[in-house]
Structure 1
Amino acid sequence: MIREGGCLCGAVRFKAEGEPVNVRICHCRLCQKAMGSPFFARALFDQKMLTVEGDTARYASSEALDRVFCKICGTRLFGWRKNGTVAGVALAVFDDRNAFVPTEHIWVAEKIDWVRLEDGLPQYPGTVPS
């Protein structure tokens, strides 16, 4: 299956092939700041399964992760692992914004206090235990 998406202005488009590795909602402080939102709802894909067209920019938010966004409109699109393995694709930028349903919340120890998690999904204070 191929799912497509893009930024607000349409200058960046992407295709994601196959199924994601996982679909999670991250509440860590870096994601909050990078997304300008209480959390980052994303589908994690192998980078080899993503095709991106258009002019993007990157910001190194940590040693391991680049935040990728449209140079024109600023839409935040991906959390891109620098080691070449996976990329988190923001759920809201898929053309079908209901294509994926999150299965768990991670980094809830850093969740904003007024966010209420009443969806019944598993919650982890940090990352998912191995």
Structure 2
Amino acid sequence: MIREGGCLCGAVRFKVEGEPINVRICHCRNCQKAMGSPFFARAAFDQRALTIEGETARFPTSERIDRVFCTRCGTRLFSWRRDGSVAGVALAAFDDRHAFAPTEHIWVSEKMGWVKFDDALPQYPEGIPS
């Protein structure tokens, strides 16, 4: 299966092939700051499954992760692991914004106090336990 998406202005388009590794909502402080939102809802894919057209820029938000965005409109599209393994694709950036549904919440220890859950999804104080 191939799914497509892009930024607000259309200057960046992407295609992703196959099914995601996982679909999560991250409430960590880095995601909050990077997305300008209470959380980052994303589908994780092997970076080799992702094709990107258009000009993007990266900003390092940790030792392991770069955030990737459109240089024209600033839409935040991906979290990109520097080791070349995984890219987190923003769920709302897909053309079909209903293509994937999250299966869990991570880093709920850092969620904003007014965020309430009524989706019955598993919640983890930090990342998924090993």
> Within 2, Cα distance between the matches of 1:110 and 1:25?
12
Q: TM-score, normalised by structure 2?
A: 1.00
* Aligned equivalent of 2:124: 124
1:62-96 Cα deviation digits (max 9, x unpaired):
11000000000000000000000000000000000
* Aligned equivalent of 2:76: 76
* 1:87 equivalent in alignment to 2:120: no
Give RMSD over aligned pairs.
Answer: 0.3
- Give the AA of the match of 2:93: V
> Within 1, Cα distance between the matches of 2:11 and 2:71?
9
Give the % identical residues.
75
* Aligned equivalent of 2:20: 20
> Within 1, Cα distance between the matches of 2:63 and 2:107?
18
Q: SS at the partner of 1:42?
A: strand
> Within 1, Cα distance between the matches of 2:14 and 2:107?
27
Deviation at 1:112, TM superposition (A): 0.1
**Unpaired segments of 5 or more residues in structure 1?**
none
Deviation at 1:117, TM superposition (A): 1.0
* Aligned equivalent of 2:39: 39
> Within 2, Cα distance between the matches of 1:106 and 1:63?
19
Q: SS at the partner of 2:15?
A: strand
* 1:110 equivalent in alignment to 2:110: yes
**Unpaired segments of 5 or more residues in structure 2?**
none
Aligned residues: 130
> Within 1, Cα distance between the matches of 2:102 and 2:16?
17
> Within 2, Cα distance between the matches of 1:118 and 1:104?
12
Q: TM-score, normalised by structure 1?
A: 1.00
Summarize the alignment of residues 50-65 of structure 1 with structure 2, pairs less than 5 Å apart: 50-65=50-65
> Within 1, Cα distance between the matches of 2:12 and 2:117?
32
Q: SS at the partner of 1:74?
A: coil
Q: SS at the partner of 2:57?
A: strand
